Structure 1
Amino acid sequence: MYSEPGKTKFQIDLRRHLREQDICENLIHVICEIAEACKYVINAVRTGDLGVAGTSNLYGEEQLALDVLSDRILKKRLIHTGVVCNIASEEMDEIYQAQAAADGLYSVAYDPLDGSSLVDVNLAVGTIVSIYKGSDLLQPGRNQVAAMYVLYGPRVSLVYSVGKGVYEFTLNQLMEFTLTRENVTMKPAGDIYSPGGLRNKYTPENEKFIRFLEDKGCKLRYSGGFVPDINQVLMKGKGIFMYPALQGSPKGKLRLLFELNPMAYLIEQAGGAASNGVIDILDIQPESLDHRAPVYIGCRDDVEKAKDFLNNKVK
């Protein structure tokens, strides 16, 4: 715990906390600029146009005006950091080169507004960010130097890790992110489950796993938003989120670069686990920007149990 006279953990701002993590100034700059950009995103969420922008993203999904605006806000901020070379967004069809690769620069992949279709019904949404050293974004998530998400809910919270634990910051009335939770940790097992996808398209193995969770008394908690669902599992320190392979969609729905890698990094840093049912999410070599994978993420024992069912080790 911080012991400086007159300073409680609720008064520790993000930049100061990052400097105490003993990381390079350029990485601090990138994370702080993303945090600043997200202040503009939440303003857009609260006050902006909820209508459709008239375009669709790379993956054929209806793109809302807020998606476009959030993407532009983050991209512009990252370009102007001067320390980011490559940028990949879920809303762009290719990697954007902000500047030539050089020593000390970073590359960033992000989902600017995950769950944006939930905004017009006033449910929580969020921004997800993955940061790598150098210019290569198509590498296993284990190589991330930082990951973070910002949840736009009743409170705006920022959760990050640079490989030294997981920390939560909350946006206060002065529009400053201040520390609210230190060293967030996961329990070995939990009693919450968040199952994505249509259950009538589950494979028999996934259906058996769901029945196992129900039989042991797990409570269903699913909002339809990846950020709020992962935040619930992480901050409660228990539970499992899953978006499995479905009949007709063997690779699931969620994307490795923009969603799975950063969340898996955070969950592992908190002592949890994330797997596609065979190997750890962070050990998957991405084949493209659109690489998707099934995911089981949360308490370590629950993820292991899912793998047992998927590999027919449980009858």
Structure 2
Amino acid sequence: MFSQPGKTKFQVDLRQHLRDQNISGNLVHLICEVAEASKYVINAVRTGDLGVAGTSNLYGEEQLALDVLSDRIMRKRLQHSGVVCNIASEEMEEIFQVTSNPQGMFSVAYDPLDGSSLVDVNLAVGTIVGIYQGQDLLQPGRKMVGAMYILYGPRVSLVYSVGKGVYEFTMNQLMEYTLTREQIQMKPCGDIYSPGGLRKKYNESNERFIRYLEEKGSKLRYSGGFVPDINQILMKGKGLFMYPALDGSPNGKLRLLFELNPMAFLLEQAGGAATNGEIPILDIEPEGLDQRCPVYIGCREDVSKAGEFLNGTC
């Protein structure tokens, strides 16, 4: 087992580690419930139906059977956790209220299986989760009390933060999560870039920024999955992911509540940054569940440079 930068002396499981973080017992329980749900999701990914469910989500996107099953697994686990009052999923049309009494409870926004269309070609996918205190989900991501993602790849890993640094846990043969990296940190700048969207639909500012990255020797690394691409940047400690405004899609593709806020929280905790090109992702006031926005996320200096190109100062 290894950590960052040195080796840990003993194997530490997730629950034990969370209890040492001096957070509420309810938050410990919630994060562990998500971890338990992920065990059923990975089983569904490995053995489940790859066909179409015959339904659409609130964005009009055709749902896969795995999307629906993963959402059901996650929602049931959260619903019966005893510590969640409101749930919002990328696969649901509205907020699901578990209880009208939010005292000591949390609200959770999640994408149950981000990148699900990649499963049939055996590429990595993931679950993304953002946690808020109380019942209000439509507030800036800066007010989250925790964020996490689970990557279902050659190994299953869980990465989380409760505002006290970023930690990675890996699922072992007994399907238990044990600590593998602690206090993960990003370098100021990197040499990897992951550009989403069709490049021919980029505006001139984004095109110039891409040329700048290429000229400085950055290598293109893009899987088509948000979770594996962010995980690569975070674990290598360098790089930039971007999904900019496109011709015909001025708000990009990725959803603020379900995808961008949790990842921005994690990257900032690791010393990185995330912006829509004008303001930090975590400072954006959400206007609804379906809100999307452009994103530039990764090493702080690279994100700052993207803003300079977009604002015409570079």
Q: Specify the TM-score bucket, using the shorter chain as the normaliser.
A: over 0.9
- Correspondence 1:72-91 to 2 at 5 A: 72-91=72-91
3-state SS in 2 of match to 1:279: coil
Please say if 1:64 is aligned against 2:64.
Answer: yes
Structure 1 distance, partners of 2:10, 2:33, is 21
Q: What is the match of residue 137 of structure 1?
A: 137
Give the structure 2 partner of residue 113 of structure 1. Answer: 113
Partners in 2 of 1:21 and 1:9 — Cα distance?
A: 18
Q: State the secondary structure of the residue aligned to 2:72.
A: helix
Is it true that 1:193 corresponds to 2:193 in the alignment?
Answer: yes
Question: Which residue identity is paired with 2:226?
Answer: F
- Counterpart code for 1:18: L
Question: SS state of the match for residue 189, structure 1?
Answer: coil
Q: C-alpha displacement at 1:61, in angstroms?
A: 0.9
> Which amino acid is 1:155 matched to?
R
Matched, 1:298 2:298: yes
1:200-279 matches, cutoff 5 A: 200-279=200-279
Calculate the TM-score normalised by the size of structure 1.
Answer: 0.97
Q: Compute the displacement of 1:8 (Å).
A: 4.7
* 1:248 shift after superposition: 1.1
Match of 1:153 in 2: 153
The residue type paired with residue 217 of structure 1 is G
Give me the whole-angstrom Cα distance separating, in 2, the residues matched to 1:49 and 1:292: 29
Rounded to whole Å, the distance in 1 between the matches of 2:90 and 2:23 is 27
Which position in structure 1 is the counterpart of 2:173?
A: 173
Distance in 1, Cα, partners of 2:62 & 2:101: 33
State the partner residue of 2:123.
Answer: 123
Q: Is the 8 A contact 1:195 1:242 kept in 2?
A: yes
| Residue 62 of structure 1, CA deviation | 1.4
- What's the CA shift for 1:99? 0.9
CA distance in 2, matches of 1:75, 1:96: 9
Deviation of 1:10 (Å): 5.8
Q: Does 1:104 align with 2:104?
A: yes
Deviation at 1:102, TM superposition (A): 2.6
* TM-aligned CA distance change 1:220 to 1:125, over 3 Å: same
Q: Which amino acid aligns with 1:213?
A: L
How far is 1:227 from its partner? 0.1
How much has 1:302 moved relative to structure 2? 0.1
Is the 8 Å Cα contact of residues 53 and 63 (structure 1) preserved in structure 2?
yes
Which amino acid in the other structure matches residue 203 of structure 1?
A: N
Q: Is the contact made by 1:252 and 1:294 (CA closer than 8 Å) also made in structure 2?
A: yes
SS of corresponding position for 1:145: strand
**Residue ranges of structure 1 left out of the alignment (5+ in a row):** none
Change (3 A) 1:97 1:309: same
Deviations 1:121-143 (A, max 9, x none): 00000000000000000000000
Secondary structure of 2:107's counterpart equals: strand
Q: For residues 79-115 of structure 1, give each alpha carbon's deviation from its aligned partner in whole angstroms, at most 9, with x where no partner exists.
A: 1111100000000000000111332000000000000
**Residue-pair matches, total:** 309
Change (3 A) 1:304 1:8: closer
CA distance, structure 1, for counterparts of residue 102 and residue 47 of structure 2? 39
Q: Quick one: distance in 2 between partners of 1:72 and 1:181?
A: 30
* Structure 2: 5+ residue stretches without partners: none
Task: Specify whether residues 24 and 211 from structure 1 end up closer, same or farther in structure 2 by C-alpha distance, changes over 3 A only.
Answer: same
* 8 A contact 1:10–1:178 mirrored in 2: no
User: Quick one: which amino acid aligns to residue 41 of structure 2?
Assistant: V
> SS in structure 2 opposite 1:308?
helix
CA contact (8 A) 1:101 1:134 kept: no
Q: Percent identity?
A: 79
Distance 1:101 1:200 in 2: 50
- TM-score w.r.t. the length of structure 2 is 0.97
Residue equivalent to 1:55: 55
In structure 1, what is the Cα distance between the partners aligned to 2:252 and 2:51? 28
**Helix, strand or coil for the counterpart of 1:229?**
helix
Write out the 4+ residue segments of structure 1 that deviate beyond 6 Å after TM superposition. Answer: none
Code of the residue aligned with 2:178 in structure 1: it is T
Q: Deviations over 1:119-170 (max 9, x none)?
A: 0000000000000000000000000000000000000000000000000000
Alignment partners' CA distance in 2, 1:255 and 1:101: 28
Matched-pair contact (CA < 8 Å) for 1:106–1:133: yes
Between the aligned partners of 1:48 and 1:167, the Cα distance in structure 2 is: 29
Letter of the aligned partner of 2:85 in structure 1?
C
